[in-house]
Amino acid sequence: MDTFEELNVKGFIDEPIDPVLDLFDEIEKLKKEKNAVILAHYYQEPDIQDIADYIGDSLGLSQEAAKTDADIIVFAGVHFMAETAKILSPEKKVLLPDLKAGCSLSDSCPPHLFSKFKEKYPDHIVITYVNCSAELKALSDIVCTSSNAVQIVDSLPKDQKIIFGPDKNLGRYVAKKTERDLVLWNGACMVHEIFSLQRIVKLKERHPNAKFIAHPECEDAVLEMADYAGSTTGLLKYTMNSEAKEFIVATESGIIHQMEKASPDKIFIPAPPNNTCACNDCPHMKRNTLEKLYLCIKNGLPEVTVPMEVIKKAKIPIERMLEISARLVL
Ligand code: 13P
Ligand code: SF4
């Protein structure tokens, strides 16, 4: 097995796997043996979604991480999500199949720079999107996700001044919806910024009956065209409840697996990006594979840790979000 140093360089355990093993069976056995639960985000590869105990958006995953009675949480998602699980359940072991599964949006907001930015607005409350580091959460007053950001901002008095970070696109969307001025950090997600407006317009012309749905991390011009904008769970529910038979989907392509499972008679077309690549995959999310998941649960590594002083501070804004969300019908 890899040494600790090797693990830190590679990010995952790299040992040979017997090709005759049925990884689905093996993972099921290990889960029972170790009292482990697998939480997976919708952007994970289909095999991982199919073996997970819970699949969800960032809010659902945090709620699940807060209430699970498993001893080990295997987080099939990216680093900030596993950190959030660790902050909510510090007594549990939290594993991430590949420690290098990061997030361009989280990286776009280094805590030391955000701290200086925050100093310029001393009378503002800080609301941060959950897609950020534990250190950034520790500098925040309330955390939000894409499914509750509008309601969380709306829960504050109208004259309350607010800094919103790190995603400027979600921030603009929330500012519009709530009719407020928000001070925005200039961060963005590499996957959601890549959609080509021109190519979407052309695709819509070819599929006049298709509904165009988009995640609020997309740019304003893309969201303006959308028949519906919402979190991954919101998008999935919309496709299930809509009478439409075709959907153009502007978010990471992993969600289409659940959309197709829930509505096998409907057609889902990934929105085209502004390059020649036909995929909208998040390279960070897709670092996790079934093989890495198996090795991770088998060896109890790589483990995500967060310093206790950061946990104490970061837990407060996350729990505020969970409290507010528990009162909302989302
Ligand atoms: P949600 O699943 O909460 O909508 O988040 C999307 C995302 O970009 C996660 O990285
Ligand atoms: Fe981060 Fe974007 Fe990937 Fe989500 S899709 S993990 S926001 S880079």
Q: Is 167 in the pocket of ligand 1 (CB under 6 A)?
A: no
Please report the pLDDT score of residue 329 as a whole number.
66
Q: Please state which of the four CATH numbers 3.40.50.10800, 1.20.200.10, 1.10.3720.10, 1.20.1580.10 is assigned to the domain occupying 4-102+284-305.
A: 3.40.50.10800
Q: Is 231 in the pocket of ligand 1 (CB under 6 A)?
A: yes
Residue 88 CA to ligand 1 center (angstroms) comes to 18
Q: Whose CA is nearest to atom 1 of ligand 2?
A: 103
Q: How far is CA 27 from CA 13, 30, 294, 301, in A?
A: 15, 5, 6, 14
Q: Whose CA is nearest to atom 3 of ligand 1?
A: 58
User: Which ligand lies nearest the alpha carbon of 41?
Assistant: 1
DSSP letters, 111-158, are HHHHHHHHHT-TT-EEEEESSS-HHHHHT-SEEE-TTTHHHHHHTS-T
Amino acid identity for residue 190 in this structure: M
Task: Residue 325: name the closest of 81, 149, 162, 89 by CA.
Answer: 149
Q: How far is CA 89 from CA 13, 63, 157, 231, in A?
A: 24, 11, 31, 24
Residue 128 contacts residue 165 (beta carbons within 8 Å): yes
Q: What value does the CA radius of gyration of the chain take, rounded to a whole number of Å?
A: 20
Domain range annotation of the chain: 4-102+284-305, 105-188, 197-270
Residue 154 CA to ligand 1 center (angstroms) comes to 21
User: Which ligand lies nearest the alpha carbon of 167?
Assistant: 2
Which atom in ligand 1 lies closest to the alpha carbon of residue 231? 4
Please report the pLDDT score of residue 230 as a whole number.
97
Residue 283 CA to ligand 2 center (angstroms) comes to 8
Residue 231 CA to ligand 1 center (angstroms) comes to 6
Q: Whose CA is nearest to atom 2 of ligand 2?
A: 189
Residue 105 CA to ligand 2 center (angstroms) comes to 6
37 forms bridges with which residues in the sheet?
73
Q: Is 145 in the pocket of ligand 1 (CB under 6 A)?
A: yes
Residue 92 CA to ligand 1 center (angstroms) comes to 23
Just give the CATH number of 105-188.
3.40.50.10800
Q: Is 217 in the pocket of ligand 1 (CB under 6 A)?
A: yes
Residue 189 CA to ligand 2 center (angstroms) comes to 6
Q: Determine if the pTM surpasses 0.75.
A: yes
Rounded Cα gap, residues 317 and 157, in angstroms: 17
Q: Is 57 in the pocket of ligand 1 (CB under 6 A)?
A: yes
User: Which ligand lies nearest the alpha carbon of 232?
Assistant: 1
Report, as ranges of residue numbers, the positions in the chain whose pLDDT lies below 50: none
Query: Which of 49, 108, 131 for mutating ligand 1's site (highest number of atoms within 8 Å of CB)?
Result: 131
pLDDT by residue (tens digit) across 259-282? 999 999 999 999 998 877 757 899
Residue 291 CA to ligand 1 center (angstroms) comes to 23
Which atom in ligand 2 lies closest to the alpha carbon of residue 106? 1
Residue 40 CA to ligand 1 center (angstroms) comes to 12
Q: What is the SS3 assignment for 307?
A: coil
Just give the CATH number of 197-270.
3.40.50.10800
